[in-house]
Amino acid sequence: MTTMLKSRSPVQQRSSHNSQETSLWSSGFGMKLEAVTPFLGKYRPFVGRCCQTCTPKSWESLFHRSIMDLGFCNVILVKEENTRFRGWLVRRLCYFLWSLEQHIPPCQDASQKIMESSGVQNLLSGRAPGGAGEGQTPDLVEKEVQRILGHIQAPPRPFLLRLFSWVLLRVLNCLFLNIQLHKGQMKMVHKAAQAGSPLVFLSTHKSILDGILLPFVLLSQGLGVLRVAWDSRACSPALRALLRNIGGLFLPPEADLSLDSSKGILARAVVHAVMEQLLVSGQPLLIFLEEPPGAPGPRLSALGQAWLGTVVQAVHVGTVPDAMLVPVAITYDLVPDISCDVHQASSPLGLWRGALAVLQRLRSSWGCLHRVCVRVHLAQPFSLQEYTINARSCWSGRQTLEHLLQPVVLGQCTVVPDTEKEQEWTPTTGPLLAFKEEDQLLVRRLSRHVLHASVASSAVMSTAIMATLLLFKHQKGVVLSQLLGEFSWLTEETLLRGFDVGFSGQLRCLVQHTLSLLRAHVILLRIHRGDLVVVPRPGPGLTHLARLSAELLPAFLSEAVGACAVRGLLAGRVPPEGPWELQGIELLSQSELHRQILLLLHLLPQDLLLLQPCQSSYCYCQEVLDRLIQCGLLVAEETPGSRPACDMGRQRLSAKLLWKPSGDFTDSDSDDFEEAEGRYFRLSQQSRCPDFFLFLCRLLSPLLKAFAQAAAFLRQGQLPDTEAGYTEQLFQFFQATAQEEGIFGAAADAQPCRPPASPVPYICQPGQSGQVGAIHPTIHLQLEP
């Protein structure tokens, strides 16, 4: 009995501590505040439409407005109704019965068809370079082909797939609160699959769990077994063997060898034969176009481009008449901690180490009610054949960034040319080197186009909005009552820009749930009136908030670029600390704004901008200017006696045409800069404009400040000779500068507290009355999907 009392005492102490935290949290939310009902009326934007310029036929044929009225479904919510059986035993075995009822097509003898393909047969007969007859017998070449084929894929095993789906369903229900998928987006994908062309899903990459989660979601929606292109360098041999048996594909290391290497030629031929057989059989394919977070190098994945290049070449040679490309994005409230440990490790992820990480995550989330939510986004599919035809027709007249900037560097030109730039993102890998230069350019631009579509269709989660507010508006702390209003304001601004949000519910419940998820990165302080003060936790917490806030940047990127351009123009005229009224007096010409925006476009990395290849620089500059006018930051200033800017009837036709074809994206667009010489703007004097203007500038201030620090680093004397040494010294310089400026300051001098461990009392449970447009299974808001 004494032992039992001793064992119970820590539990009682922990429960009393949680009750104290709950009461403290309740005191902050005890104010009588109106719930936000609703955001922007009753409707949320439907995102994910394909590009109307590049794929007009797909834009019209694969979409119907009725799909916008379809709601969301929780993929991991499996009940008795999801099976064909009923009864009390079915309710306890519904996960297992559901996995047995999933449609898995029978495995075909793919290896035999690959060996009979024309490319492999040419190698075996010696008609192609790198095959038999060059010091190798046909038997040795056939064994080498079998070995490479075994490294790339294995026949999927239905029993293992069903067992893995059952286990994964239970694990996902423990890790996540829900996994939401829009039924309208899924209907578009099903409509594209009925056309008979193979589906190729091109996805962003937020976590290593994406390669397991997305095939599970699409299998549950009746699309069959999804073949996933994995990175062989990130997986151990045991894990690769398991992933191959459930549909994984791995690029052989010999494919990265030089063009004159016989092993490289043989490996690339086998890869193309595998891709051709996969597309002919109609199996869906998943390719990650984005590198995972924390991975060194550019954002666009070289491995993903290599796999996409094989698909493009298979359609180009006529192996399949067409392929339907589906941009995919996945967003988390918080990326699971499993992926953080994996990407930081130097060795590949092993089977047992991955299983141990999952078990540790399950143990930490056991009994935890503030679990994260996940949204899977499927953008509108489009035809690869249609995109290829339209994209090749508007390639003339575009130059690389090297050719554009070379006259400036040599002193032959003093003004940065306002023309389109084409910048290489990643070094070309072995499989892409085997393509023609025109095909390489097509793959790079197609990758950028799809990645832009995936990011544009991603929903903004509540943690991204909260992190942005804490990092860029209230880094020194904010009272909770003020935070509630600004959370509502930023959500409305996000929806107004055509971006969806991944949450719904009463305002107080949303903020509490979000702070519960960010409890390790924020500090809650109670003040004398019973309100709470939310302060970002210094140190690594700021870095984590910065990563979360990056998810919101695409929604405000155009306005942020325009605000920084305006601030750059005003910096030489008005002191930055001067009053807003003084800055509003200055006139800004449209040509000056265009050139300043263009300078920022050349400075900012393409990984951040994600400009569509079909959009010219002039069009983007005009779009940025239109956004600033639309949000009310800039107002047109008409000089006395001049013709109003909106008066289009008095324009006289000049010798030069006033219109251009839609495919004419050459540097002739720069002629429009001279046409805007007489248009002037000034900053608006509305009361809300100064705060919003500074907020937009702060979104890009960390990156622009890093460029300024890099310029200061270049002015130092001794610089290393090697690129690795240069990068290391620059990183050390950044760290030293950050510590000198006090970015990682000391914690606030007050008694901190955490959000309660159980947010259930403040969250509406499913099934309660008064719920309209439920999106979040436990948090609801009057929003129509």
| Residue 38: strand, helix, or coil | coil
pLDDT of residue 700: 92
Q: Among 336, 22, 44, 293, which Cα is nearest to 177's?
A: 336
CATH T-level topology, domain 460-548 = Arc Repressor Mutant, subunit A (1.10.10)
Beta-carbon neighbour count of residue 169 at 10 Å? Answer: 19
Return all residues near 109 (Cβ < 8 A) that are at least 6 apart: 155
pLDDT of residue 465: 94
Q: Among 635, 497, 495, 627, which Cα is nearest to 562's?
A: 627
Strand pairing partners for 250?
230
Pair 382, 58: CB distance under 8 Å: yes
The pair of structure tokens assigned to 301 is 């994945």
- Single-letter amino acid code for the residue at 446: L
- How far the first Cα of the chain sits from its last, in Å, is 57
Q: Among 505, 502, 462, which Cα is nearest to 483's?
A: 462
- CA Rg value for the chain: 28
* Distance, CA of 162 to chain centre: 30
pLDDT of residue 647: 56
| Residue 437: strand, helix, or coil | helix
How are beta strands 478-479 and 324-332 bridged, if at all? unpaired
Beta-carbon neighbour count of residue 88 at 10 Å? Answer: 7
Return all residues near 629 (Cβ < 8 A) that are at least 6 apart: 635, 636, 681
Residue 146 has, within 13 A of its CA and on its CB side, a CA count of 7
pLDDT of residue 739: 72
pLDDT of residue 468: 94
CA distance 781 to 785: 11
- Cis omega (within 30 of 0) on the bond before 759? no
Are 460-548 and 552-575+582-639+677-700 the same fold in CATH?
yes
CA distance 595 to 251: 44
pLDDT of residue 429: 54
User: Strands (DSSP E) along 208-314, which ranges?
Assistant: 227-230, 248-250, 285-288
pLDDT of residue 643: 58
CATH T-level topology, domain 552-575+582-639+677-700 = Arc Repressor Mutant, subunit A (1.10.10)
What are the average pLDDT values for consecutive 10-residue runs of the chain, which has 785 residues?
Answer: 39 42 42 39 73 89 79 86 78 82 76 81 72 66 86 88 90 89 91 91 91 92 89 87 90 75 82 91 92 77 90 92 94 73 57 77 67 91 92 63 63 55 49 75 90 92 94 88 90 90 86 89 82 86 88 93 91 72 76 89 85 84 91 79 55 45 43 58 85 92 87 77 80 80 40 32 28 28 32
243-270 exposure pattern, b = at least 16 Cβ within 10 A, e = fewer: bbbbbbbbbbebbbbeeeebbbbbbbbb
How are beta strands 382-383 and 588-589 bridged, if at all? unpaired
CA distance 429 to 437: 13
The domains of the chain are located at: 56-125+137-338+348-395+427-450, 460-548, 552-575+582-639+677-700
pLDDT of residue 559: 94
DSSP character at residue 197? P
